[in-house]
A and B are shown apart, each in its own frame.
Chain A
């Protein structure tokens, strides 16, 4: 009923606004028609034409008044006044270009900063995962219930396969780990960052390849695992976007791999960081039954209708069964679940984005207070104008409305300029993100400039326009007409209310500015601490590089040791280098491994004592240029192990110091 009524009402409203002239013409015609008929009627009753006409008009009670009443019935009086106020507002802005320019630039800075940061809030918080039904993606975390430690990664390889077989909550569970690939053959050798992933990795995420296919189940068997999927970036940069890339053989780690697919440019798994190549995570039976170490992480996709809590309970039940079966390795160990959304947010700086959002919010408040102050100052110089208009019969609300329209106009311009400034700001931030960490940042560090972002921009512009326009509007429309008219031109200091408002704005601005300043200094200090702070060793003049040895060529410890001895001797002989050394993992590098450490003479005394496996970052054993590591090494005192025992991953890092001799 209501909607049906609107099918009649709406066309009329539209007509009143856009076809006003036609509507007016028809009104004229209708009333003229009536008068003519009425005149005819009176003439036929015996009046002279003039008398008849006069009587008809009299009965109408004034044609123009009736027309006005009919127009009022259209109910668009409000819009007409609004249009009038906007025209007037334009005129006022043109008349004081300096004021308009300063206000618009101020607002553009405030609103633009908000637009830029909001585009990141939009990218990170509103739509952070480019996967279908991303809320069903769940990350597994290993947890030591006795110590309360929680870390990424599964409790152990064998445990993972038990979880995979026994759970009833997940459609799929996917193991994955970051990996380096040595890409040789066509072109210069390249070290490509990427990952070893379960065959169902892409399928579970819901990601489709650009070319070719994703992995097949049998490819997680060692024998069939020499296949790879590459990113669009690598496809374009190294393979010149070869259209026949699928099926092409490449040399990875000294072995021949076949490329089976290319992922699109927007594919990103930000827990893995920058990744340009993926190969199946395959292992032999021995590795599959390893219940004491783990070297990969895992996530899964919940079955429809299963909640995170149910999945957590399911895995915890399996964990407690495993604890009873394998007390030697699994005591106190369980698995927790967390959403991928939360894990990415936690790891990748969501908090910092929110802090920035608060800060730019304060900056916007300052900008608005500034503009409101300007408007107040200008309004007090317009006191006479308002007094005259008030004397001519304009109500206070009418004046407030007009001032509010003016401020809305100003803020809308500010919003438009702010949107432009915001776009520039987003580009600036995007370019400031170092390539190395881009892969870890949601959406590769790009902001999202979409409808939502711009709706936000103009939304805050209009909201602030109303809020900060109200104070000047009420403050300045309330002049007593009498007093203002009596004031001479030189005494336009404004009323006491206005003065108080202005003081309030200034005080507010200063306090907000102090808050922003303090927050910014704290943030910068924090950052400086991180970069320049004491990390326990001299990082100046230390240079680090990472390399991967192809396992096919370097199988025995002797071979690996031989290689590094040769490399270190070569580097150490360089005149610029003081000393050089190698380590499996360097401090602050992004790879690490869970490892068991047996202390000689202290055998594991029973269940729950094998706690050392929870140490995530294995300690570099010999590391002469770095004091911190020397201390660690001294305490552990394992003088025999120059190169750590053969690792399950063949990743080695070596660290070279090049303390140049200072010339005095």
Chain B
């Protein structure tokens, strides 16, 4: 099993926050959504998903709640907190700046 193409440190957090900003989800649904949105480019293993979620929860960016799913199972649903939403905005801005800067550098013409 190949490792995800070494996600930049903290990028997984950004992805998770963005996904949860759209709607509250449980862990399994998050893993499906991650694959769905990133296609095959970003492979996030289930192994790194849960520790990351727990860390975000402990940081206060997301909060968890046990709810019953449509097929009557109890599951832990994660949702973005208000501080989490602000954090996401800031991180997204940072990411935008970083990505733009790097793509600018990479596209410099070689002479």
Question: Which residues of A pack against B, CB within 8 Å?
Answer: 1, 4-9, 12-13, 26-27, 29-31, 33-34, 37-38, 56, 58-62, 65-66, 69-70, 72-75
Contact = CB atoms under 8 A, between A and B. Distances in A.
Contacts of B81: 5, 8
Given A4-B82, A30-B27, A74 B58 contact: yes
A9 B59 contact: yes
Contacts of A37: 28
B51 A70 contact: yes
A66 B83 contact: no
Contact of B51 (A4, A26, A29, A73): A73
A66 B60 contact: no
B83 A4 contact: yes
A481 to B, nearest CB: 34
Interface of B: 1, 26-28, 31, 45-47, 50-51, 54-55, 57-61, 63, 66, 73-76, 81-83, 86
Nearest to A4: B83
A191 B70 CA distance: 93
B81 to A, nearest CB: 6
A66 B73 CA distance: 23
B47 A62 contact: yes
Contacts of B55: 73
A34 B28 contact: yes
Contact of A60 (B46, B59, B61, B86): B46
A9 B55 CA distance: 11
Given A34-B46, A60-B46, A62-B47, A6 B60 contact: yes
Contact of A61 (B45, B66, B86): B45
B28 A8 contact: no
10 contacts: A1-B83, A6-B60, A8-B63, A27-B54, A34-B31, A34-B50, A56-B46, A62-B47, A70-B50, A73-B57
A33 B73 contact: yes
User: What are the nearest 8 A-B pairs in CB distance?
Assistant: A61-B47, A69-B51, A8-B60, A5-B60, A73-B54, A73-B55, A5-B83, A9-B60
A33 B26 CA distance: 10
Contacts of B60: 5-9, 12
Nearest to A7: B60
A59 B47 contact: yes
Contacts of A27: 54
A74 B73 contact: no
A29 B73 CA distance: 11
A37 B76 CA distance: 13
B16 to A, nearest CB: 13
Contacts of B26: 33
B43 to A, nearest CB: 10
B86 A1 contact: yes
A3 to B, nearest CB: 10
Nearest to B56: A73
Nearest to A76: B58
Name the prevailing secondary structure of the B interface residues. helix
Nearest to B66: A26
A34 B27 contact: yes
Name the prevailing secondary structure of the A interface residues. helix
Given A26-B76, A38-B46, A73 B58 contact: yes
A183 B105 CA distance: 102
Given A34-B27, A37-B28, A66-B51, A59 B57 contact: no
Contacts of B47: 59-62, 65-66
Contacts of B46: 34, 38, 56, 59-61
Contacts of A13: 58
A59 B58 CA distance: 24
B83 A58 contact: no
Contact of A66 (B50, B57, B75, B86): B50
Contacts of B51: 66, 69-70, 72-73
B29 to A, nearest CB: 9
Contact of A58 (B1, B28, B59, B61): B1
Contacts of B58: 9, 12-13, 73-75
Contacts of B76: 26, 29-30, 33
Contacts of B45: 59-61
A56 B31 CA distance: 12
A18 to B, nearest CB: 16
A649 to B, nearest CB: 75
Given A60-B46, A69-B51, A73-B55, A33 B28 contact: yes
A74 B83 contact: no
Nearest to A70: B54
A1 B84 CA distance: 10
B1 A8 contact: no
A70 B50 CA distance: 7
Contacts of A12: 57-58, 60
A58 B26 CA distance: 20
A38 B28 contact: yes
B50 A8 contact: no
Q: Most B CB atoms within 10 A — which of A8, A38, A58, A65?
A: A8
Contacts of A69: 50-51, 54
A58 B54 CA distance: 20
Nearest to A61: B47
A54 to B, nearest CB: 12
Nearest to A13: B58
A243 B44 CA distance: 85
Contacts of B50: 30-31, 34, 66, 69-70
Contacts of B27: 30, 33-34
B71 to A, nearest CB: 10
Nearest to A16: B58
A455 B109 CA distance: 69
A406 B88 CA distance: 44
B65 to A, nearest CB: 11
A6 B66 CA distance: 21
Nearest to A72: B51
Q: Most A CB atoms within 10 A — which of B46, B61, B82?
A: B46
